[in-house]
């Protein structure tokens, strides 16, 4: 049975092979051949092999490669320098100034150096002896004096802030009616911040740091300082210059908000800040701490809020005490130790002085009148100077002055008429130490404000005699408190 199945399978396979037909290939038309130019392959960075990249080695001088161990007690440093020069296969030249000016006790040193580079050994020895060295053309030059050119990068301008508020008023000699010498008086509130010339500060300190034979040249216009002095003194000067540049390169962003509150009748004594801090702001601001109240002679007080509080929250808290008016909200950047001055207001001109001159020539008399005018400031003058210590605490010197012109009355004396300004001044001066982003509050500057309003009915009030019936005058008085909010932030 198995043999018959195998025979049938072979017959079936042969039949299948015999039934396959060969299919001739399909004829196609001859197509023209087109040869396109091939763009040359550009060499890219990917084609570069690592074998083409050569390593770059730093070329070390002998004093950086060779190491030495030295242990001496009270030995002449020149002998030690000679040993180092021989070890590095270098020549040695010691300047004559060392033999002439370097004290004998300073020439002998005690050191114990174990397996250090020759460069480190040279640095230690020259620092101990107050000398310096340089290597050029295979020679070690050891000198007592060195020179250096410093690039200061400071402005050549001198920051000086003057603020004058006031004007000419009638003096104390009121009974004098002499028209040849018109009455003249003066009331003025003036202040002057000291000149802040960084170059003068540097020059003063350089003179103290120089040795007896040291010399310097300070050029304010190019902002450069040349110093030639002993290596020890030059190192001190270099450290001082670096500290000054680091300190004076720091910037402070000063944000201020000057507010006037027309106090309600129930709060004529001013804003109760203790009540605000304990109740209104305690849960709102989550203040970390509050400094104690600092009073000054002007009646103003200052305190600081920490915890990065915002202006608008404090403004909202004082609204219940009266009508709030934002006088100004300046933002200004200034450098460490440089005063920033902000003035907001207007300048009003008035007649200051009138003089009359009479001259006679050949029987002809000529009269001339000279009128001198001046101006008075009505607004806010604000000066602040920041100082930053090593712990990034900010010391602020603050001088705000608020000037309000109450009236400009004209007074006639003989044939002359001069203007008598009446001014209300609120000013204070304080120095506050604060941290970055803390809020300083200056308050307590209260003034009595009197207002006169003339009310009348149009047209009818202009009729003589009868018009007075349709006119009325109203006088009102109120108390206005000046509040200054200041936030200082160090710009990094």
Give the C-alpha separation, 216 to 230, whole Å. 12
Give CATH for domain 62-143.
3.55.50.30
User: So what's the pLDDT on residue 459?
Assistant: 67
Query: What average pLDDT values come out for the chain (492 residues) when binned by 10 residues?
Result: 42 43 46 48 52 61 84 93 91 92 91 92 93 92 94 67 41 35 36 62 93 92 92 94 88 90 86 80 57 53 69 84 88 87 80 77 76 79 88 88 78 69 78 86 80 69 70 74 89 82
Q: Among 381, 366, 472, which Cα is nearest to 426's?
A: 381
Give the C-alpha separation, 401 to 188, whole Å. 12
Residue with the two structure tokens 């195998």: 6
Specify whether the CB–CB gap between 421 and 375 falls below 8 A: no
CB-count burial class (<10 Å; 0-12, 13-18, 19+) for 394? buried
Specify whether the CB–CB gap between 231 and 143 falls below 8 A: yes
Give the C-alpha separation, 343 to 362, whole Å. 54
Report helix, strand or coil for 34: coil
CATH code 3.55.50.30 region(s) in the chain: 62-143
Report helix, strand or coil for 179: coil
Q: Is the pTM of this model over 0.75?
A: no
Q: Strands 430-434 and 91-94: what pairing?
A: unpaired
Checking 405-412 for CB contacts under 8 A at 24+ apart, the result is: 405/348, 405/376, 405/378, 406/450, 408/348, 408/350, 410/351, 411/170
Report helix, strand or coil for 47: helix
Specify whether the CB–CB gap between 349 and 405 falls below 8 A: no
Specify whether the CB–CB gap between 373 and 408 falls below 8 A: no
Specify whether the CB–CB gap between 406 and 395 falls below 8 A: no
CB-count burial class (<10 Å; 0-12, 13-18, 19+) for 466? exposed
User: So what's the pLDDT on residue 31?
Assistant: 44
User: So what's the pLDDT on residue 229?
Assistant: 94
Q: Which two tokens stand for residue 351?
A: 């007649």
Q: Among 161, 159, 194, which Cα is nearest to 382's?
A: 161
């Amino acid at each position: 049975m198995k043999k018959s199945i195998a025979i049938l399978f072979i017959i079936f396979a042969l039949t299948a092979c015999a039934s396959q037909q060969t299919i001739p290939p399909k004829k196609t038309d001859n197509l023209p051949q087109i040869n396109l130019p091939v763009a040359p392959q550009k060499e890219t960075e990917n084609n570069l092999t690592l074998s083409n990249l050569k390593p770059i080695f730093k070329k070390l001088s002998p004093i950086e490669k060779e190491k030495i161990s030295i242990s001496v007690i009270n030995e002449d440093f020149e002998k030690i320098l000679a040993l180092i020069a021989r070890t590095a296969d270098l020549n040695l030249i010691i300047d004559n100034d060392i033999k002439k000016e370097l004290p004998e006790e300073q020439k002998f040193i005690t050191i114990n150096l174990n397996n250090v580079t020759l460069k480190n050994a040279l640095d230690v020895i020259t620092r101990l002896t107050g000398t310096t060295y340089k290597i050029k053309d295979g020679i070690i030059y050891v000198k007592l004096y060195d020179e250096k050119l410093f690039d200061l990068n400071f402005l050549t301008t001198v920051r000086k802030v003057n603020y004058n508020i006031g004007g000419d008023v009638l003096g104390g000699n009121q009974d004098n009616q002499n028209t040849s010498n018109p009455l003249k008086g003066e009331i003025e509130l003036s202040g002057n911040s000291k000149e802040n010339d960084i170059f003068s500060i540097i020059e003063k300190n350089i003179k103290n740091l120089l040795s007896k034979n040291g010399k310097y040249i300070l050029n304010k216009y190019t902002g450069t300082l040349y110093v030639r002095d002993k290596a020890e003194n030059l190192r001190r000067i270099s450290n001082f210059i670096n500290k000054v540049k680091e300190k004076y390169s720091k910037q402070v962003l000063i944000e201020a908000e000057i507010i006037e509150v027309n106090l309600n009748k129930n709060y004529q004594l001013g804003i109760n800040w203790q009540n605000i801090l304990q109740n209104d702001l305690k849960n709102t601001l989550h203040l970390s701490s509050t400094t104690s109240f600092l009073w000054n002679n002007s009646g103003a007080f200052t305190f600081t809020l920490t915890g990065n509080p915002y202006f608008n929250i404090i403004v909202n808290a004082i609204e219940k005490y009266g009508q709030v008016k934002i006088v100004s909200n300046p933002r200004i950047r200034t450098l460490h130790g440089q005063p920033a001055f902000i003035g907001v207001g207007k300048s009003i001109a008035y007649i200051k002085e009138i003089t009359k001159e009479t001259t006679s020539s050949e029987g002809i008399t000529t009269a001339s009148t000279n009128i001198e005018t001046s101006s008075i400031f009505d607004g806010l003058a604000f000066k602040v100077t920041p100082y930053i210590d090593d712990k990034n605490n900010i010391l602020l010197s603050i001088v705000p002055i608020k000037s309000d012109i109450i009236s400009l009355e004209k007074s006639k004396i003989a044939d002359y008429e001069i203007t008598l300004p009446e001014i209300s001044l609120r000013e204070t001066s304080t120095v506050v130490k604060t941290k970055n982003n803390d809020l300083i509050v200056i308050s307590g500057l209260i003034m009595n404000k009197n207002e006169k309003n003339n009310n009348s009915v149009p047209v009818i009030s202009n009729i003589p005699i009868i018009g007075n019936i349709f006119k009325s005058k109203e006088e009102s008085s109120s108390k206005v408190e000046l509040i200054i909010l200041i936030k200082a932030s160090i710009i990094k």
